[in-house]
A and B are shown apart, each in its own frame.
Chain A
Amino acid sequence: MNTTTIEVQTTLDSTPSPSIRETSLSSAQIIGYDHQQTVGRITVDNPKMVCRDVNVYYAKKCALKQVSLDIGTNEVISFIGPSGCGKSTFLRCLNRMNDTIPICRVTGEIKLDQDDIYDKSIDVVQLRARVGMVFQKPNPFPKSIYENVAYGPRIHGMVNGKAEMDELVHESLERAGLLKEVESRMNEPGTSLSGGQQQRLCIARAIAVNPEVILMDEPCSALDPIATAKIEELIDELRENYTIVIVTHSMQQAARVSQRTAYFHLGNLIEIGETDQIFTNPRHKLTEDYITGRFG
């Protein structure tokens, strides 16, 4: 097979990562590759995940262009940007959810602690236990509330015996702020809960397998303001133990929950910075236009 490394200009002062994967396309064959330099500091002092020169292609279309950023340990970082900007695509790269899309190809380097998560030796199931995910619409399994939380620990062989499992289920529900509401109805189906409770059940399910990072793809967009406030309060509490990456269309939510914010536009990471700086004094015109509602 004729394999050619794509020629792309690196955005950073640093040299491109040596582990950039090769693709079978030449630069001329790639559609929509117009890369823009990122404004702001992409590095942090204590990174949990390090992403460098990440490109994502859907067939020939380049959906994510040379994205490089660090995700700090125990930080909440939010990704914002208009629809189709690549923020969800990038989120899905972080636990290899894009592997499920046949035409999708990821290049570049993403490390969780020291491990390259795209390395051949990585067990994707284990990876997704370490990097959990909560989706836009609450999607509990068609099982009981108890089983929804117990399922992950069981398949990962994390517990011995019923007593231990009971403890883990209770602890996870407690951390997700749901225990009091469901304690007396553990055997009822997860789907019998309200939308906000279902979403917290999904968060309990995600934290039951003791992940290090939790990815949230618009976790509150289907919820009312009270349920949203509960999830946001939960995010703030979870930050003590987990690193949280959240994609949101609500700028107010990004402002409320995250310490750093990254703005994506047409597959480029345009700007990254402290959340208060991004929302009061962004440095890039595209960020300013987006957050102030000037988008053409």
Chain B
Amino acid sequence: MPISHDAHTVKQFDVQLANLRNLVLEMGGLVEDQIQNAIKALNDEDVSAAREVIARDQIINGMQVKTDEDSVNLIALRQPLGSDLRLIMSLSKIVTDLERIGDEAEKIARMAVKTYDGDNNPPSAKLLRDVAPMAKQATTMLHDCLDALARLNVEQAIEVAKGDDELDQEYQAALRRLITYMMEDPRTIGQAINVLFIVKALERIGDHARNIAEYIIYLVKGKDVRHINMETLVQDALKGE
């Protein structure tokens, strides 16, 4: 049964559920900014902007703690069932992935600091060529899954999950290219490994976005679509439409 949009008899419960969802969406917006700022700092070779990203990760961690606290209180005090229970459980899991995405943004920012702070020899444009398209794909996935969460849109969540396969392929391609550069010119190994950490972080963001998309499908459809292939995921997610 899809989520009921009718109000609860106890209105305060509606308010608390809405607050919890808004907190998670707000956290999602902040995480989205973090990735964009980290990538921008990298592009602009802006070390102080990168340091700001690193400092802001604490706010995201705090929001995760607050969401989990609110979820536990709602479960203890309201004994939610049905779609209310699925909503709270999903949000609680979604924040874990959002927090990890925040960590990945922080990692990218740290790489920007490491690469451009002081007299380090920065990587060439050739080495960085995969970062921009992968960053675009990863941020789009995160944006779309947050949008799907706000609208409880299963179709959009499916598209996000599908996008992860593409990002994985891009990552594999980037990895091959980086290895080729390193073999061609061993002097680039140090820089190439830094870039490798960045594209790995972007690939992980895609994984977390896919997890979030799966929780949205569970929340709306009551069907657990984790750890199954894409074909079955799409079938299960659209069942009972």
Across the interface, do A289 and B4 meet the contact criterion of CB distance under 8 Å? yes
Contacts of A238 in B (CB 8 A): none
B3 — nearest CB in chain A belongs to which residue? A288
| In the complex with contacts A281-B1, A281-B222, A287-B1, A296-B6 CB distance below 8 A | yes
Check if B81 sits within 8 Å of A292, measured CB to CB: yes
Q: Quick check: is B140 within 8 A (CB to CB) of the other chain? A: no
Name the residue on B nearest A280 (C-beta).
Answer: B85
Flag the segment in B7-15, B40-48, B162-170, B200-208 that touches A.
B7-15
CA gap between A282 and B82 in the complex, in Å: 7
Contact A293 B8 (CB under 8 A): yes
User: Which residues of chain B are near A289, meaning CB under 8 Å?
Assistant: 4, 6
For residue A223, CB closer than 8 A to chain B, the reply is no
> Does B84 make an interface contact (CB < 8 A)?
yes
B7 touches A294 (CB 8 A): yes
B82 touches A291 (CB 8 A): yes
Residue of A nearest to B7 (CB): A294
Which residues on B sit within 8 Å (CB–CB) of A255?
81
Nearest Cβ on chain B to A230's Cβ, whole angstroms: 21
| Cβ–Cβ < 8 Å partners of A283 in chain B | 1
- Contact, CB under 8 Å: B6 / A284: no
Chain B, range 1-49, C-beta contacts under 8 Å to A: 1, 4, 6-10, 13
Tell me whether B79 is interfacial, beta carbon within 8 Å. Answer: yes
Please tell me if B191 contacts chain A, counting CB pairs below 8 Å. no
What residues on A are CB-neighbors of B8 within 8 Å?
292-294
Interface check B61, CB cutoff 8 A:
no
Are B9 and A293 in contact, CB atoms less than 8 angstroms apart?
yes
Q: Is A58 an interface residue (CB 8 A)?
A: no
A294→B17 CA distance, assembly (Å): 13
Known contacts A293-B10, A294-B8: A282-B86 contact under CB 8 Å: no
A279 interface residue (CB < 8 Å to B): yes
Whether B1 lies near A285 (C-beta < 8 A) is: yes
On chain A, the residues within 8 Å of B9 by CB distance are: 293-296
Tally the A-B contacts, defined by beta carbons under 8 Å.
51
Q: Which residues of A contact B62 (CB under 8 A)?
A: none
- Whether a CB of chain B sits under 8 angstroms from the CB of A252 is yes
Query: In this complex, what residue of A is CB-closest to B10?
Result: A293
Asked if B80 is an interface residue, CB under 8 A from chain A, the answer is: yes
In the complex, what distance in Å separates the CA atom of A279 from the CA atom of B222? 11
Contact present for A280 and B4 (CB under 8 Å):
no
* Minimum CB–CB distance for B109 against chain A, Å: 40
Q: Report the separation of the CA atoms of residues A283 and B80 in the bound assembly, to the nearest whole angstrom.
A: 17
**Residue on A nearest B9 in the bound complex, by CB:** A293
Knowing A252-B79, A287-B1 are in contact, say whether A292-B86 is a contact too (CB < 8 A): no
Contact assessment for A293 and B13 in the assembled complex, using a CB-CB cutoff below 8 Å: yes
A165 at interface, CB cutoff 8 A? no
Restricting to B188-202, which residues have a CB under 8 Å from any CB of A? none
* Interface status of A251 (Cβ within 8 A of chain B): yes
Contact, CB under 8 Å: B86 / A288? no
B77-102, CB under 8 A of A: which get 1 and which 0? 00111111110000000000000000
By a CB distance below 8 angstroms, the chain A residues around B1 are 281-285, 287-288
Nearest-neighbour CB distance to chain A for B110, whole angstroms, equals 41
Contact B79 A292 (CB under 8 A): no
Contact with B along A170-204 (1 / 0, CB 8 A): 00000000000000000000000000000000000
Q: Besides the contacts A280-B82, A283-B1, A288-B1, what 19 more A-B pairs have beta carbons closer than 8 Å?
A: A251-B81, A280-B222, A281-B1, A281-B82, A281-B86, A281-B223, A284-B1, A287-B82, A291-B82, A292-B4, A292-B8, A292-B80, A292-B82, A292-B83, A292-B84, A294-B4, A294-B6, A296-B6, A296-B9
Could you list some 6 contacts between A and B, CB below 8 A? A252-B79, A282-B1, A285-B4, A289-B6, A293-B13, A296-B6
